[in-house]
Amino acid sequence: MATNISPKRPATTMRCGNIKATIWQNVSEKSPSFATTFSQPFKDQAGKWRNRTSFSLN
């Protein structure tokens, strides 16, 4: 049985240098709320793009 559930898309994505901030909107009965995730895109040894979610300022 197939369902037509589309994946959740971010409200917006912003970049500052090599750091990416993705803003997600969560809709509830009361009001919408927002959550932000931070990541750092990088290429691994095989040349494939990955996202690092744990990093320091250095």
Given a cut of 90, whether residue 49 has pLDDT beyond it is yes
Q: Judge whether 20 and 33 are in contact, CB under 8 Å.
A: no
Which bin fits 10, alpha (ψ -120 to 50), beta or left (φ > 0)?
A: beta
Q: What's the confidence (pLDDT) of residue 57? A: 72
For the CA atoms of the chain, what is the radius of gyration? Answer: 15
Which neighbouring-strand residues pair with 48? none
| Domain extents in the chain | 12-52
Given a cut of 70, whether residue 4 has pLDDT beyond it is no
Q: What's the confidence (pLDDT) of residue 50? A: 93
pTM over 0.85: no
d(CA 38, CA 24): 11
Confidence of residue 55 (pLDDT cuts 50, 70, 90): confident
